Amino acid sequence: MKIMIALLLVLIALLQYQLWVGPGSIQQIHAYQMRLDDLRHQVKDKQERNQSLYAEVKDLRKGQEAIEERARYDLGMIKQDETFFQVIE
The sign of the CA dihedral 40, 45, 50, 52 is positive
Contact at 8 Å (CB) between 78 and 68? no
State pTM to two decimals. Answer: 0.53
Ramachandran sector of residue 88 (left: φ over 0; alpha: ψ -120 to 50; beta: rest): beta
CA distance 44 to 38: 10
pLDDT one digit per residue (tens) for the chain, 89 residues: 889 999 999 999 888 887 777 777 788 889 999 999 999 999 999 999 999 999 888 877 887 777 787 778 788 788 888 887 778 88
CA distance 43 to 61: 26
